[in-house]
Structure 1
């Protein structure tokens, strides 16, 4: 289908590909993977002819129909409705439709056989090309990609970039190409649309090449994986999970070969040094030197999965209740998002906020983060809560003239340069990368800088809106490790299911204008959600209700004020005691897991007794806190 032979492509003095080879066969479903900057998007552009190879060839059949989705399509502008833009895929059918309309108009005055025959021929071809169903097919695909019936009538120009990209994808899918080249197709898609696209691509009969950082998406679609690395293309005969296992095995073999070869080289070098000292052995020494020079060297294995080796600390732990949402209602003109709904974020919660676009995820996140105050109800921050809010618009807040290290130092002055360099190293900025100017960074690199800043803030509560956008798989893996080590509380919106499954212990979703909670991981939520029947929202009839006169609040007496002051001080003291006791319990849990303790019966018995005592005290403190908080709420009326 497509044959890539000895492909070399140079940018300046750098060879992005160096005699790379790859053959794409009919029906192949391939994931093209590699680090940012490895040339994945460039390779797709080479295949479609937007770039020309420095040397080598890319050959394919002349009549091969390629559907190519890339981020440049965002620049496409049209004032037509999106259903008409999608239907532009049917070039011949649209041409025939226009010709048929023209012939029908002529028939109003000309009944000649010539016109009738032409009309008959055009109608037969139009029917053979399934022309009468093209509008239905366009509506069907747009609906699958998340567009309502009303939205399909709106002009393309009225949609944001992410939604316009979906229209471009619909147009490409409607072309029914022989091969699909998809560059990050799930960017800006919500989870329902991603699942629909997965089902569509699984049934697609042509070949597919996908560039994506969404490993769950890749696992469900692809049958082969091609890694772009160090100028070469390496094929793995399985999906992304298979690639990880197979690569680990290949790396283990390569590491062994490297170790053995290095031992052999050292042995040869010692012999050469010994032979050089003797004139009679000099010829033999020269022979061994030439043999070493001819030896094909085995490379050492590079670590493509760096580990986060620092801890994210904050000066003060929060109280038990981090954010309390009471009777929240939020509406936009002609759109109600939330209606009289309540929820609670507790200390230690790792919440994934999921759902379709337009259901109010970002709105709810802004309410939680105090970025939106135009709503009904109360959003109450708890005791000692310090917050950091990460969203994509914060990439624009980076100071373009700063170097990366200067940007970090300005934001986190309490950290030493060594600490900040260590943090940047974990986010793949090594060596002199730290001195790069912000203005020369790619979107993914800017995201990593902004995330590094967010995670170095002295915050015990993180609010993260789509933090995995523009990140490659290695960077997503770093973020997962960082959040797994983070001891505070966070709420995150993301469409990356692998990421969510590895960081969340609670799931929030919006249903019938209410915040609903599932107490478990994303995978557990998916299993639970697949089995349940969702009740449709009942539209309430408007009723005339006679309102009861509201009781006016009476001002608290001086005695009540003094009592409230005393109780609030006691509550603050209890929260400090709870924090101290929580640290003690965690330390004892660590001790119980250490070999030094569990291998010594006496130490084990003593540590277990101390742990049980500390845990009982901790539980009692929590109970006292709840009772005292209840008293305070009653006094406040």
Structure 2
């Protein structure tokens, strides 16, 4: 059991944690969540003893081993395999002692302990963990200094998992991982035997791995049982209760104030009025549930272009003078495509994105672009390289040179930068705010095609949900590279697998791909000899039908979500024309009404298609079962 007892931490004169308290059950798997800047990393540093609290303390069993990734990644000439084995300090020390020990009794104790900690199977365990995190046999044998910083952090994570501490602390472990490694990590953590505390904004991880949510808000901690979805339901119920209590209190305050105003001057009622005035003064206001009004994504929609936007014809791409990374690329991108690129890091997803973004030229074949196409390309480098001394207003003014100040302010406002936030220095912005600013910059000219390469790394769960809604309302094409499968499932209706030097449409759903990555539901022969040719052909046909049916359902669901988002924005504009955003602000009430009628018709048609696709899927699944 780990107890956080009334922790108070002040940094730079500001209270970060204010008598925060919680009890983590032994063996519990806890997701630590909170808005960016709430103090999650500060709490973890207090737990591991890196900072001394101003008040309160941390209590845990005396012999419990605590594990946390150091900020410095491992380096040097050691290999990832050697670095992971060295992470088990006790095993390493015992093996060294076994080589030099001359006392037979002590040597016996050493070997007994080596057996108890399963030391001799350690190399196989280390290799399995490294493979799961993306290191093949050749990569495991390369020197650490031949890897990038992100891959070195994977080695650090592998070493931590291998050492199997009693209390495992993970701070955004998915940030350096691709989707495939993230899936493996979730699967590994589900069966982790110790206590787990993980800071994460990955909704799927928080739903599949953890059994408690520890919510940090306003410096205080609240522990909720269950997954993230359960937490959201409980939080919504709590918000409703708080809102009701506030309304009740406001009514009572108004009643008391009215009584005091009417009766203070009368001698007969002055005493009662004074009593109620004191009661009114003692009444503590009930705080509203804190929401971030700047949490905003609103992509400007482009004018229509005839399809296709981009066509790749037997194209090859790479980095001269080397061999192509990808070849024989045949890909067509249309105006309303929502494409997610799948595949492990290093397989060429970013290379393909850069080719489509016109940052790389084809080495063979051809790439054709629509003559008037505008492309917005977002990468993590843009977030990290924002000039420290500038403000969002200055950066957007330079990017939109020649545009009137109202247009510049309007684009910033779409992404939550209004008032003082528009003139704040970029080095004072949170990671999520910097990501929103980078997105505002790359979409300033309403691109027809938006390419997003890992857009969620700096965003918390609520911000990711807002981004999904904005993508569904956006009327251009989207190419998405993300390890957040919740975002992929909700925002993409077409999957392209980048693997083995090729990029090809993946016929299955995200569920099929997850099963494929984790090795689940793979066909096997009952007699140990494998299926017959006829059985393989029949099974392949059934799987293809099932995948195609699932794809149609996914596409229908995505279109429904997009239309619902558009209808919600339209209804808001009709209810408050002055508050309308984007293109809706340019329309009259009459035009808004006409568009709503059209949109309602499209929604009805989309619902019919979804129902038809769902019934077809149910029928196929019934045959397969």
Shared fold (TM-score, shorter chain, > 0.5): yes
Alignment correspondent of 2:72:
73
Residue 311 of structure 2 corresponds to residue 324 of structure 1: yes
Residue of structure 2 aligned with 1:239, choices 227, 233, 236: 227
Distance 1:272 1:526, change over 3 A: same
Residue of structure 1 aligned with 2:87, choices 83, 86, 89: 89
CA distance in 2, matches of 1:416, 1:224: 50
Tell me how far 1:356 sits from its aligned partner.
1.1
Tell me how far 1:416 sits from its aligned partner.
5.5
CA distance in 2, matches of 1:494, 1:218: 17
Distance 1:80 1:436, change over 3 A: same
CA distance in 2, matches of 1:13, 1:418: 38
Residue 10 of structure 2 corresponds to residue 10 of structure 1: yes
Q: Deviations over 1:563-615 (max 9, x none)?
A: xxxxxxxxxxxxxxxxxxxxxxx9978425559xx9xxxxxxxxxxxxxxxxx
TM-score by length of 2: 0.79
Alignment correspondent of 1:614:
none
Residue 29 of structure 2 corresponds to residue 29 of structure 1: yes
Residue of structure 2 aligned with 1:505, choices 493, 508, 527: 493
Partner-residue secondary structure (3-state), 1:301: coil
Partner-residue secondary structure (3-state), 1:164: helix
CA distance in 2, matches of 1:533, 1:334: 38
Cα pair 2:349 2:481 within 8 Å, conserved: yes
Alignment correspondent of 1:161:
149
Alignment correspondent of 2:378:
390
Residue of structure 1 aligned with 2:453, choices 456, 465, 481: 465
Deviates more, 1:266-275 or 1:504-513: 504-513
Tell me how far 1:430 sits from its aligned partner.
5.0
Tell me how far 1:446 sits from its aligned partner.
2.0
Tell me how far 1:194 sits from its aligned partner.
1.0
Tell me how far 1:426 sits from its aligned partner.
5.2
Distance 1:58 1:128, change over 3 A: closer
Tell me how far 1:503 sits from its aligned partner.
1.3
Tell me how far 1:412 sits from its aligned partner.
2.7
Cα pair 2:392 2:425 within 8 Å, conserved: yes
Distance 1:177 1:528, change over 3 A: closer
Partner-residue secondary structure (3-state), 2:153: helix
Residue of structure 2 aligned with 1:591, choices 597, 604, 621: 597
Distance 1:401 1:122, change over 3 A: closer
Tell me how far 1:256 sits from its aligned partner.
0.9
Alignment correspondent of 2:335:
347
Cα pair 1:350 1:505 within 8 Å, conserved: yes
Distance 1:401 1:158, change over 3 A: same
Deviates more, 1:227-236 or 1:433-442: 433-442
Cα pair 2:36 2:430 within 8 Å, conserved: no
CA distance in 2, matches of 1:495, 1:334: 28
Tell me how far 1:317 sits from its aligned partner.
2.6
Deviates more, 1:381-390 or 1:146-155: 381-390
Cα pair 1:184 1:213 within 8 Å, conserved: yes
Residue of structure 1 aligned with 2:483, choices 495, 503, 512: 495
Deviates more, 1:227-236 or 1:121-130: 121-130
Residue 461 of structure 2 corresponds to residue 477 of structure 1: no
Alignment correspondent of 2:589:
none
Alignment correspondent of 1:568:
none
Distance 1:457 1:398, change over 3 A: farther
Unaligned runs of 5+ in 2: 525-591, 605-625
CA distance in 2, matches of 1:394, 1:151: 29
Distance 1:144 1:373, change over 3 A: same
CA distance in 1, matches of 2:49, 2:174: 24
Map 1:211-222 onto structure 2 (within 5 A).
211-222=199-210
Distance 1:592 1:180, change over 3 A: same
Tell me how far 1:123 sits from its aligned partner.
3.7
Tell me how far 1:306 sits from its aligned partner.
6.6
Between the two proteins, the alignment pairs up a number of residues equal to 534
RMSD: 2.9
Tell me how far 1:41 sits from its aligned partner.
0.8
Residue of structure 1 aligned with 2:185, choices 175, 182, 197: 197
Alignment correspondent of 1:255:
243
Q: Deviations over 1:235-278 (max 9, x none)?
A: 21111111111111111111111111101101100100111121
Map 1:84-233 onto structure 2 (within 5 A).
84-102=82-100, 119-233=107-221
Alignment correspondent of 1:58:
58
Distance 1:514 1:22, change over 3 A: same
Unaligned runs of 5+ in 1: 104-113, 535-585, 599-637
Q: Deviations over 1:25-74 (max 9, x none)?
A: 1011111111000001110001111111111222122211111136x133
Q: Deviations over 1:446-500 (max 9, x none)?
A: 2221011122223211122111121222322232222222111121211111111
Distance 1:326 1:45, change over 3 A: same
CA distance in 2, matches of 1:283, 1:587: 58
Residue 264 of structure 2 corresponds to residue 297 of structure 1: no
Residue of structure 2 aligned with 1:269, choices 248, 257, 270: 257
Alignment correspondent of 2:547:
none
Partner-residue secondary structure (3-state), 2:258: helix
Partner-residue secondary structure (3-state), 2:173: coil
Tell me how far 1:199 sits from its aligned partner.
1.1
Alignment correspondent of 2:429:
441
Cα pair 2:166 2:195 within 8 Å, conserved: yes
CA distance in 2, matches of 1:125, 1:448: 53
Alignment correspondent of 1:550:
none
Distance 1:319 1:369, change over 3 A: same
Partner-residue secondary structure (3-state), 1:321: coil
CA distance in 1, matches of 2:404, 2:469: 22
Cα pair 2:295 2:416 within 8 Å, conserved: no
Q: Deviations over 1:191-218 (max 9, x none)?
A: 1111111111111111111111111111
